[in-house]
Each structure stands twice: as C-alpha cells, then as structure tokens.
Structure 1
C-alpha cells in the first residue's frame, strides 16, 4: 500500500504495468524464488496522499487476508504548504492499528531527507517529526521497521532519479535488499557498487539545479496549484493477490536493450 515509493517510480521497466518495477516487486520476486507459493499484490499509486491511500487501498488490501502488508504513506502530504501534521500522524497510526488487528505482519518505513533543494529545507523538520512518530507506531504495534532515514548509501546522488524525489534503479535494488534483511528473508541481492564520484564544479551544480527547477520542480508546482496529481489516470499495478511475475520469464527489458543500442 502507498504512493510512488511503493509503486516503483524511478525503476523503469517497459515489460511491467505502469512501466516500472520497484523495490516491492523485487522483494516479492526474491520471496517467490524461495517459496513458489508466494502471492503478491501492489495497490500503490503515485501521487497519492495519506487519506486517499486509506480510502482506496486499505479495505481492498485487508479483503485479501494477507500475512504481510507494507504501508508507506504521508510523504506527499509532507510536501503540502498547509498541513495538520498531528492529524496526519493520528490517521497513519489508525490505519496501522487496523492492519495489525488482522494479525498480518506489518512493514513500515521512515522517510528520507531527500536533498531536493535549499528552497525546501523546511521539509527536514516535518520529516523528523514524521519519523519519530513512525518509530513509535512501529514499536507500539510490533511492526517491522525499515529505518530508511539511516541508510547512508542514499547520500549518493546515483541512488536517485533525476527528479531528486524518487529512487533510481540502484536505490530500489538497495531498498529491496534492506527490506528483505528486515524481514529475515533469504535473498541474492548484492549491495550496489558505487565508485567514488568526481567532484563537480560550482557551475555544474548550478546548471543541474536550474535544469531540475525547470524540468521537475516547476511542473510539480503547477500540478499542486491546479489540484492535479501525477497519479491521475493511473491505477494499481498489481491489484489482485496473484503469483509473482518473475522478470527472467519476460525476456529482456526493452528499455535496457534500447539504451544498449544507443550506447
């Protein structure tokens, strides 16, 4: 359950619904390789805030009678200009209580302080409050916690998509690895190898910031003013509990193959 984080935005794969794969798919794939009876659903939709996630995804998720539920929500709310943060966190806890009451194993995440821009530095304070409450909720309801905020590898910009908000494929792979470790599940995912980056000049940094503002931040801000969402027109990628689709059975990733041809 959740938003773009769980849908898989940033991990492009044209073979799969919504043209993305993501950490959740990768976790399900590893679980299925060790237990072919594994069934998986992914109800997350990009751009969703907490209340729509609860309204649209909670009952369908519980109706599947799952034994493991991942729940990440609230990140899009933290980006809003006006926010009743205590109410948001109370709603979050109520949803976790509902899931936990079914006996399902619950998986929660803290949020990462994505280095978007100095313009959005106030988000750091909100995120700290959010994370403190998430940790409390995880302890209160016996949920598993992926403490994303503590993962130092995400300080490397190669873990992030160009939009600076969503993990790149490397980030999703590493997140899948960390989730499986929290679950105590066997897996074959290695840590990403990240050689040292060359230092950037001040001009390169400024040019990158200007490009990001024009390409990513301005359209995002425009959607906010219009009351639109990046998830408008999208539906859940895997809306039913079904056997896991293993990528090795789908053939080559067309996006990767095209990139190889252009190289």
Structure 2
C-alpha cells in the first residue's frame, strides 16, 4: 500500500447524516453506511501504523445537538484533525435565522480549537438544482458567507460544497434525494482530500453513475419518491421527530481504520 504523507494521526468527524454516510450503504461498515468521511480516513490511514479515526456524526442532528452531544466526546479523543458539517438541518427548517445558526456554529469552532487541531468545515451545497430546496438557496448562501467568515477568523480549512458543481447531478443522489449516494460521497471525499492537500488515487466518477431516466420514468420516480421519502420527512418535522432519535455514533472511539469488504462496495 502506498504511504500517504500528511501530518495527522487522529481524525474525528462530527456532524449529521452527511458525515455519518447516509445514502452510501455498506453492510460491512460500522452502522451499515460508508460515506465520504470513511473514504477520507481510508486514504489518510494508508502506510501509517498509528492512524486512528472516529466518526461521531448522527443523522438528523441540529446544530445545538451537535454542540451539546458531540464536541466534548470529540475533544476527549484528542484529535489533531477534525471535520465538522453542521447547521444544514437547521437551515432547511422554515423560520430559522442563518445568522443565529452561524453564531452557534462559531461556538462549536471555538471549542474544537482548544487543542489546536486542524479543523475543516463545510459550506452548504448549492440547492438551486433541487425542486424541493431551491426556495432556500438564498438562505444557504447567507449561511455560507457566515461560515467563510468563521473559517477566516479561526484559521479553518473550507471544503466548499457550494462550488462542487458535480454534486448537482441528480445521479449523485440516493433515492431519497436528500442524501448523496456512493458516487456523491466518493466525489466529496476527493474534494476533502484536495482541500487537505493530500495526494490520493481516488478517480473521478468512480464508482460510475447510473444511466439517467427517461421523462416518463422520472415522473413515476417522482411520485414514488414523494410517497416513500418526502411525506415521512415532512411528518417528522411536524411531529418534532428526528431520524437520529435513538441512533448512536457508528465509530465512537478513535481506532485504526479497516476498509469494508470490496465485494460489497466500490472504492
């Protein structure tokens, strides 16, 4: 295995479903999902005997829940690299204030910077391509500008999902249209490694995207999607429920990364 040269030995990922890896199912991975963070950890671990990785992210979490539930355990693992993606579940909720969400995010960054770990944060994706979320595109843009200011003040690395136009391709998304699929997570992993300036052998468009649907197929899929995913998602919002209720972190302890079986999931 080729040695990857970088300064980090303990990587902790915190956040919500995006970082947990939802949309990228992998039966042999802890929690049953792989995702971009696992893929990044796999690259960072290559050629290292003492690299350790933890993933504390849990689907559905709001920014204050991530601050309250994940930061203290993350600091307890003594990371020298932390990635955080948070606030997306807040931004998409009607009536929320991107400035207030950003203030909570900055509190998280201040606490995470206690031990001088490298911190990488994510902007939100450009949702203009999504019929469901394009109405909050401006709100996401305001949140992103706040995040860039936070990154500048606290010397964080920015992984710019807004500029990652590749993920605006519908073929990058899981059937629920809320989470990236294996190809999408793979693409984000490449972007994160580039932001960290880590050489790697991850190739674009591998795993390959599925062929696009015909117009008629797409309309049938729209109806199926609304019944299976959109309606339950809306009902959870109304009932103040979360998909992450009673879910625990998939990798709560910093440990050597073991790749999933290649017979189940592409690289």
Scaled by the length of structure 2, the TM-score of the pair is 0.88
- Structure 1 position 174, deviation (Å): 1.1
List alignment gaps of at least 5 residues for structure 1.
257-263
Secondary structure at the residue paired with 1:164? coil
Contact 1:53 1:73 in 2 (8 A): yes
Structure 1 pair 199–8 and aligned structure 2 pair: CA distance change class (3 A): closer
For residues 113 and 59 of structure 1, the distance between their equivalents in structure 2, rounded to whole angstroms, comes to: 31
The runs of at least 4 aligned residues of structure 1 exceeding 6 Å deviation read none
213, 216, 240: which one aligns with 2:253? 240
Determine whether 1:159 maps to 2:172: yes
2:64 matches 1:51: yes
Of residues 126, 147, 151, the one that matches 1:134 is 147
**Cross-structure match for 1:69:** 82
Structure 1 counterpart of 2:199: 186
Whole-Å separation in 2 of the counterparts to 1:174 and 1:36: 26
Q: Match for residue 100 of structure 1?
A: 113
Q: Report the CA distance between 1:115 and its aligned residue.
A: 5.5
Q: Does 2:9 align with 1:7? A: no
CA contact (8 A) 1:46 1:231 kept: yes
- Unaligned stretches of 5+ in structure 2? 1-13
- TM-score normalised over the length of structure 1: 0.89
- Partner of 2:183 in structure 1? 170
Deviation, 1:212, is 1.8
Matched-pair contact (CA < 8 Å) for 1:115–1:164: no
How far is the alpha carbon of 1:129 from its aligned partner?
0.6
Deviation string 1:74-112 (CA, Å, 9 cap, x unpaired) is 011112123133221101011112212320000011111
**How far, CA to CA, are the matches of 2:23 and 2:217 in structure 1?**
23
CA RMSD of aligned residues (A): 2.1
Kindly indicate whether the alpha-carbon contact (under 8 Å) linking 1:116 and 1:165 is maintained by their aligned counterparts in 2: no
- Name the residue aligned to 2:244: 231
**Separation of aligned partners in 1, 2:132 and 2:256:** 44
Specify the alignment match of 1:210 in structure 2.
Answer: 223
Q: Give the total of aligned pairs.
A: 252
Paired residues of 1:68 and 1:104 also in contact (CA < 8 A): yes
Which structure is higher in helix share? 1
